[in-house]
Structure 1
Amino acid sequence: MTARHSPGPTLTTGDRDTELNERLTAELVAFNTAATDAADRDMFSVKVTDEAGRLIGGLAAWTWGGLCGIEMLWVREDDRKDGWGSRILDAAEAEARRRGCDRVTVSSFTFQAPGFYQRHGYAETGRTLGFPGGHADVHMYKSLTSRLGPSGEA
């Protein structure tokens, strides 16, 4: 009798694998849906362009089970003084409410814009330390049902 040997599991490391990312996302969404009974995960964006069609700024976010998560918000440097960040954030919060969300979360590196979010009513909930240059990732949360203004007063 001949023993048959099959190779064992293979572990590989390399550049980003798009197919793997899609599979992992699908598997985790299925797991999360089963664990939370919330299957309404969806993505949305807010985009501002100038008269020539060039990007002024934008935001990418997701919604899931009444929570909105802001992944990215960026405004072109020469347009930051014009209030586009606030208008984009306000539009995203309005869209989150329209989609049934009552809370929102975001994180921002200490060298980016945690103060911006705090001025818009976001409260720090924690930090991840150890980023290059001695920086941290600041995690923030805001209730969309609160009647407080951007600076926290009623």
Structure 2
Amino acid sequence: MKLDVIYDPTEDDIAKVTTGLRSYNLPFLEHIPSETFVCLLKEQNIVLAGCVARLFGQWIKIEYVWVDDASRGKGIGGKLLEELENVGRQKGCKRALVDTLSFQALPFYQKQGYVKQMSLEDYPVDDMQLHFLTKSLV
């Protein structure tokens, strides 16, 4: 038996692990609905803001929220969250989950009704934190 540590893995190296894990998980998770979607806000076909979320059973996991610097402070982020939460409700989601680093958007999510559940201190380095927040959609 030989253990290799690969610091610059190929897509095939990564696929060997992810395919194996997905195969193991399948009997436990295959009946749970799951899909990814994107909301984009455009002006004259230029994307000013967007979000990526994953519906997973009764949860919606917000993966990414981005608003162009020039468009910040205009309520666009709140509108994006509202829209993705509405999509989640339509698909049967009862709760939403998001994580954010300390320099990102903790106050923004709290203003939108998200409640901090947990924080990891010194993540990914000293003096930063990773916060996990949830919101009830019902």
TM bucket, shorter chain: 0.7 to 0.9
Q: Which residue among 83, 88, 93 is the counterpart of 2:75? A: 83
Q: Residue 47 of structure 2 corresponds to which residue in structure 1?
A: 55
Q: Residue 134 of structure 1 corresponds to which residue in structure 2?
A: 127
Question: Within 2, Cα distance between the matches of 1:29 and 1:39?
Answer: 14
Q: Secondary structure, in 3 states, of the residue corresponding to 2:110?
A: helix
Change (3 A) 1:61 1:23: farther
Structure 1 unmatched ranges of 5 or more: 1-7, 146-154
Question: Within 2, Cα distance between the matches of 1:16 and 1:50?
Answer: 39
Question: Within 2, Cα distance between the matches of 1:83 and 1:23?
Answer: 43
Q: Residue 13 of structure 1 corresponds to which residue in structure 2?
A: 6
Contact kept in structure 2, 1:40 and 1:64, CA below 8 Å: yes
1:91: how far off?
Answer: 0.8
Q: Which residue among 28, 37, 40 is the counterpart of 1:35? A: 28
Cα RMSD after superposing both structures: 2.0
1:129: how far off?
Answer: 1.6
Question: Within 2, Cα distance between the matches of 1:68 and 1:116?
Answer: 18
Q: Secondary structure, in 3 states, of the residue corresponding to 1:106?
A: strand
Aligned residues with identical type, % of pairs? 24
Query: Number of aligned pairs?
Result: 137
TM-score by length of 1: 0.78
1:100: how far off?
Answer: 1.6
TM-score by length of 2: 0.86
After TM superposition, list the pairs within 5 Å mapping 1:73-152 onto structure 2. Answer: 73-130=65-122, 131-132=124-125, 134-145=127-138
Structure 2 unmatched ranges of 5 or more: none
